[in-house]
Structure 1
Amino acid sequence: MQALGLSKAFTLIEPGPVVLVTTHDGHRPNIMTISWTMVMDFTPVFAITTGAWNHSFAALSAQRECVIAIPTVDLLDTVVGIGTCSGRDTDKFARFGLTAVAAKSVKAPLIKECLANIECTVADIIDRHGIVVLEAVAAHIDPERQERRTVHAVGDGTFIVDGCKLDRRTLMAAKLPPGV
């Protein structure tokens, strides 16, 4: 084994997939790219890591809701572009040609071009670690979307694309929640 600098350790377990999080501040929607996500429970409860350095964080904190949109590999350059500009001075929906669709339960919009969208409310914000805990209130998927591969950030400007799917449902049946 060779030593790896601790500043690079996160690249070994960087989660995925990369998601787009939409918010609405009461005046206009915005989008931020998030690569640090976590599934916390089957109910479903999720967490994202963000903070005041992201323009969308103010709307997320004030409105206490958002949409987690799941992009696919064909949107990678758009996802990176969204993450490298600020909603302070950019209408990201217009700049990247994305379609905002009214959500069922929250003011933040769905993104039509994404494979799936999960409407969420904010359950908790753990400021010390920049963790926002989200409870899903509605979920949507585009069953006709041909591209379904998601991307995972390594953390160094490179990405991994989902590959083949391995089925172990029979072996895990006792641990899966009903209906999954």
Structure 2
Amino acid sequence: MIQLELSKAFTLMESGPVVLVTTHDGKKDNIMTISWTMVMDFTPVFAITTGEWNYSFAALRKNRECVIAIPTVDLLDKVVGIGMCSGTDTDKFDKFRLTPLQAKLVRPPLIKECLANIECKVIDIVEKHNIVVLKAVAAYTDTARKEKRMVHAVGDGTFIIDGQTIDRKKMMASKLPPGV
């Protein structure tokens, strides 16, 4: 093995799925790209990392709700583009030709083009680490969508695309919640 620069160590673990997070600030909808996500438990509770540098953070803090939309590889250029501009001066739904759909339990919209959408309420913000803890209140998936491969950011401008699925549900049955 060769030693890796410590400043690059995060690239070994960052590869959770890249998601789009929609917010509504009271006036308009916005979308931000997030690559730092975490499943916290089966209840379902999730966490994302963001902060003052993202235009959507003020809406998350104030309104305490969002939608996590899970894009697939065919949307990668839009996902990267969304992350490269600010909602301060850009209508990202319009610029990237994405369709907002009304959510049932939160104000921010779902994204029609995404494989899945999860409506969430903010239950905690860990300011020291810019961690926003979210509780899912509704979830949807587009089972008719042909492309289902998700994208994972390495953190250095490269991405990994989901590949073959390997099933070990029987082997792990005692650790999985019922119905999974």
Cα distance in structure 1, aligned partners of 2:155 and 2:37: 13
Q: Given that residues 22 and 110 in structure 1 are in contact (C-alpha distance below 8 angstroms), is that contact kept between their aligned partners in structure 2?
A: yes
Structure 1 residue runs without a partner (length 5+): none
Match of 1:111 in 2: 111
Q: Are 1:26 and 2:26 matched, yes or no?
A: yes
The number of residues matched between the two structures is: 180
Cα distance in structure 2, aligned partners of 1:88 and 1:127: 22
Amino acid at match of 2:40: M
Cα distance in structure 2, aligned partners of 1:95 and 1:81: 9
Q: Given that residues 56 and 87 in structure 1 are in contact (C-alpha distance below 8 angstroms), is that contact kept between their aligned partners in structure 2?
A: yes
Q: Secondary structure at the residue paired with 1:81? A: helix
Match of 2:15 in 1: 15
Measured after TM superposition, the shift of residue 57 of structure 1 is 0.2
Structure 2 residue runs without a partner (length 5+): none
Match of 1:2 in 2: 2
Cα distance in structure 2, aligned partners of 1:15 and 1:139: 22
Match of 1:146 in 2: 146
Q: Mapping of 1:1-180 within 5 angstroms?
A: 1-180=1-180
Q: Given that residues 15 and 38 in structure 1 are in contact (C-alpha distance below 8 angstroms), is that contact kept between their aligned partners in structure 2?
A: no
Measured after TM superposition, the shift of residue 16 of structure 1 is 1.4
Amino acid at match of 2:45: V
Cα distance in structure 2, aligned partners of 1:13 and 1:23: 27
Percent of pairs identical after alignment?
74
Cα distance in structure 1, aligned partners of 2:102 and 2:157: 32
Q: Secondary structure at the residue paired with 2:89? A: coil
Amino acid at match of 1:121: K
1:100-128, CA deviations, whole angstroms, 9 ceiling, x for partnerless residues? Answer: 00000000000000000000000000011
Q: Given that residues 15 and 152 in structure 1 are in contact (C-alpha distance below 8 angstroms), is that contact kept between their aligned partners in structure 2?
A: yes
Q: Given that residues 71 and 114 in structure 1 are in contact (C-alpha distance below 8 angstroms), is that contact kept between their aligned partners in structure 2?
A: yes
Amino acid at match of 2:31: I
Q: Given that residues 15 and 160 in structure 2 are in contact (C-alpha distance below 8 angstroms), is that contact kept between their aligned partners in structure 1?
A: no
Measured after TM superposition, the shift of residue 15 of structure 1 is 3.2
| RMSD, matched Cα | 0.4
Moved over 4 A (4+): none
**TM score, norm. by length of structure 1:** 0.99
Q: Given that residues 15 and 37 in structure 1 are in contact (C-alpha distance below 8 angstroms), is that contact kept between their aligned partners in structure 2?
A: no
Cα distance in structure 1, aligned partners of 2:60 and 2:94: 21
